[in-house]
Amino acid sequence: MRITDTGDLWWKNAVVYCLDVETFMDWNGDGIGDFAGLTQRLDHLADLGVTCLWLMPFYPTAEKDDGYDITDFYGVDPRLGSHGDLVEMIRTARDRGIRVIADLVVNHTSDKHPWFKAARSSKDNPYRDFYVWRSDPPPPTQHEVVFPDQETSIWELDEKTGEYYLHRFYKHQPDLNVSNPKVRDEIAKVMGFWLEVGLSGFRVDAVPFLLEGAEVEPGSEDGDPHSYLRALRSFLGRRAGDAILLGEVNLPHAEQVEYFGSSDGDELTMMFDFVGMQSLYLSMARHDAAPLEKALRDRPPIPRDAQWATFVRNHDELTLDKLTEGERQEVFAAFGPDEDMQVFGRGLRRRLPPMLSGDPRQIRMAYSLLFSLPGTPVLFYGEEIGMGENLAAPGRMAVRTPMQWTSGKNGGFSTAARRRLPGPVVEGGFAPEHISVAEQRHDPDSLLSFIQQLIRRYRESPELGWSGVEVLDQPHAAVFAHRATWDDGSLVAVHNLGPEPLTVPLRLPDLDAETELVDLLDHGSLACDERGSVEVALEGYGYRWLRVVTPGARRLV
């Protein structure tokens, strides 16, 4: 392939891997994962092909929301190690070609944070305006709460001062007043500090809620809260030109695209495609590619340097909030029929393999589809081996169980007593004695080996990170066929979302009888006729990645 100057846009073809240090690897035997353990396991991520490691919060915490209730934005939770341990991990990761980003959670703090403790001490305290207060009783706001099973209002009365403080999430997480210039200065200092430590950017938590607090900024551009997001991106660029902001923005595409900013992409660098993810599950539930096709066709154009992040699972509930009530019930019926498998009335607290009853055909098809979609794929730790969930853990913690390294005690995560672990180990058919890294790493037919192959092929196919979506017409409802073309590379991917074998006729009018379609996941190739027509055979839940190879091509396929 001809090398085209794309600048240092490493995120366009990255492979992102999300983990919680607390549940990944315990090296000192106290029952809690730590940075020393993560450092020892970086070779696993390098062998897998990961190029970007996303850390969930590792800061000091009041431990009421799995680290998202932060008490010190500049610190490292002492249970996980020290700043020195973190820096050693970042250095080791970079030695293996892995950049590190971390959660930036600045729309709220813990109520144990020194700022809030000072703010609630009196109405005259200098930190009072770091948070949002009201003196009159608030109207009913139950419809605005993020966690309807935990809260009934977004306002909480502070008994000492007699005023109410805003909390979009839990009452123990008061919202910061982002319209206050002093708060903005503190957020910039936090970002600058961690960039100096060695991070390559941030996954920005709950971006729409963050910007809600910026709507009243004095002197802003016509009161536009996006001016604050532009300011954050500009600051990031000045401090580290190749660093990224990966945003959590769960909105319809038409609203979501606004968070990329102007045509130059001056706000978020990347955003998760929540709409595409939810449509994928509806398509898998129906064995019908139409919802996924529509979601991808409806993706709006984005700036050249921006990117969609694709995923099939993340660290939160598997939200289905963008589906209609009827569609959501279809997905519940297919993948989480028991009420205990659901959460907040809008999502699932399960991992993909148990949802698919452990069927290796469907599991591999889903990950093949993930890595072939235009965008940057994001994996949640344990997905590479097919980990399951433990529904005995509360809420979203069901999918945040200890990593399964071996079939031994606690899945090789820790030598401590099980009661000292951060959560229960998976049990049943997806327990460590059945699912572990050690079991799969030398098995060429394992899911781990398959994910490694997908990552190799993805990284060899830059068009998957740079192209738009071209959905190909074909007659089978269960089949999703698309093509990615960029520069002189082109790849056709065909996936069967149903159990019946099919032969898929495709028409590629720019090709001719001298063109080969070389299979990247298996041996063999297909030939087009003089009209660019070709037939692709698929097994039930089958998949093909086909490299377009023209006469005289010198690319290694």
Tokens of 21: 């240090």
Torsion of CA 228, 231, 233, 239, to 10 degrees: -140
Q: CA angle 301-302-304, nearest 5°? A: 120
Determine the distance from the C-alpha atom of residue 472 to the mean position of all C-alpha atoms in its chain, rounded to a whole number. 27
Catalytic residue among 248, 267, 389, 516: 248
> Residue 94, CB half-sphere, CA atoms under 13 Å: how many?
12
> Residue 146, CB half-sphere, CA atoms under 13 Å: how many?
16
> 527 - beta bridge partners?
516
452 phi and psi angles, rounded to 5 deg: -60, -40
> 538 - beta bridge partners?
502
Return the number of other C-beta atoms located less than 10 Å from residue 216's C-beta. Answer: 14
List of E strands, 211-346: 244-247, 270-272, 307-310, 318-319, 342-343
Tokens of 307: 């990117």
List of E strands, 14-107: 16-19, 52-55, 99-104
> Residue 481, CB half-sphere, CA atoms under 13 Å: how many?
23
**Shortest CA distance to 538 belongs to which of 510, 500, 507, 489?**
500
Residue with tokens 């297909």: 526
Q: Which amino acid is at 505?
A: P
Return the number of other C-beta atoms located less than 10 Å from residue 189's C-beta. Answer: 12
Pairing of strands 52-55, 133-134: unpaired
Distance CA 245, CA 260 (A): 10
Distance CA 24, CA 1 (A): 38
Catalytic residue among 22, 175, 205, 266: 205
| Annotation says 248 is catalytic | yes
- DSSP letters, 85-129, are HHHHHHHHHHHTT-EEEEEE--SB--TTSHHHHHHTT-TT-TTGG
Q: Which H/E stretch holds residue 334?
A: helix 325-335
Residues belonging to the active site: 205, 248
